[in-house]
Amino acid sequence: MNWTRIAFITLLSSTQLACSDTSEVWSAAQSENDKLTTSTPISVVTDTFRDKKGNILEIQFDNTAYTATANFNDTIIKLEGQPAASGIWYANDEYDLRGKGGQVRLTKYGVLLFEN
């Protein structure tokens, strides 16, 4: 057996070991990633908005129930989710809350109460 053939076999063996070690690391990382992506999503999110006048609108979004509870001027407003082409839309018989990105508008019977 010549030295070139021995060197080639040694190189091939070490490459196979390196590949198997990498696949084990990849497999462990993939398994950990699966744990992160299959966890339970956050169902309730609270966000606070301020308009130019300094008024504050706090909204608690319940993603499971598809509802929002708004607190504006110490008035608690319960809203039901509505189908929106884009952004958010929650409403009840009196109030309408719409938004997109970080912008929201709250109206009561069509009269603007809050806009940031």
Give yes or no: residues 68 and 95 share one domain: yes
Give yes or no: residues 78 and 110 share one domain: yes
Give yes or no: residues 49 and 105 share one domain: yes
Give yes or no: residues 62 and 111 share one domain: yes
Cα–Cα distance, 96 to 94 (Å, whole number):
7
Give yes or no: residues 25 and 81 share one domain: no
Give yes or no: residues 66 and 97 share one domain: yes
Domain count, the chain: 2
What CATH number is attached to the domain comprising 88?
2.40.128
Cα–Cα distance, 53 to 61 (Å, whole number):
24
> What pTM, to 2 d.p., does this model score?
0.64
Give yes or no: residues 57 and 111 share one domain: yes
> Which portions of the chain are predicted below pLDDT 50?
3, 6-8, 11-12, 15-20, 22, 25-26
Interacting residues of 38 by C-beta distance below 8 A, sequence separation 6+: none
| Residue with tokens 């198997």, as numbered in its chain | 20
Give yes or no: residues 74 and 27 share one domain: no
Give yes or no: residues 30 and 54 share one domain: no
Give yes or no: residues 56 and 98 share one domain: yes
Residue-range definition of the domain harbouring residue 18: 1-39
Predicted pLDDT of residue 42: 80
Give yes or no: residues 61 and 93 share one domain: yes
Predicted pLDDT of residue 31: 52
Measured from the Cβ of residue 109, the count of other Cβ atoms closer than 10 Å reads: 9
Predicted pLDDT of residue 92: 98
Predicted pLDDT of residue 93: 97
Give yes or no: residues 58 and 98 share one domain: yes
